[in-house]
Amino acid sequence: MLIKKLFDRHYLFFVLLYSSSILTGCGGASEEAKQRADVTITVTHEGTPVTEAEVRMMQVGKGEGAVGMLNESGQAELSDVVLGSYLVTVNPPEGTPDNPAPKKEYPNIPKQYRSLKDSPLKADVQSGDNEFTFELK
């Protein structure tokens, strides 16, 4: 009886120890350990810079992403983007609750580029500086 109790306690201890070590290892790299790079994205439509839009990069299934607003040259500068392959969308500006974006049509941003599911735009972020140019058709 005493041996059975000792065995049960040790068994429970090892099961808990093993489980906690497995769960701890599943978290992946800490945020500080992830390699990052700077990204410049240029977006044009029929050769003209898209100046009123938001560019979003998303690593599907990884939870990593980056967002930037296009400037008057049709460029967005994104810093500290985690290395990897991304799907890219271009969306009309949303604004904020205090400063909402004007409600208007954005014919220079075709609908297919606004959705992760439909957008053909991809970016593979690697070490160093990364520059991507996308022509919306």
Distance (Å, whole) CA 70 – CA 56:
11
Alpha-carbon distance of 37 to 54, in angstroms, equals 19
Prediction pTM value: 0.75
The residues spanned by each domain of the chain are 36-136
Helix%, strand%, coil% for the chain, nearest 5: 25, 40, 40
The structural architecture, per CATH, of the domain 36-136 is Sandwich (2.60)
Q: Which helix (H) or strand (E) holds 68?
A: strand 65-69
Residue showing tokens 């429970």: 12
Four-residue CA torsion sign, 7, 13, 16, 20? negative
Q: What is the mean pLDDT of the chain?
A: 84
Q: Is the pLDDT of residue 9 over 80?
A: no
pLDDT, average across residues 2-26: 44
Query: How does pLDDT run across 75-133, given as a tens digit for each residue?
Result: 999 999 999 999 999 999 987 788 887 788 999 999 999 999 999 999 999 999 999 99
Q: How many CA atoms lie within 13 A of 5 on its CB side?
A: 2
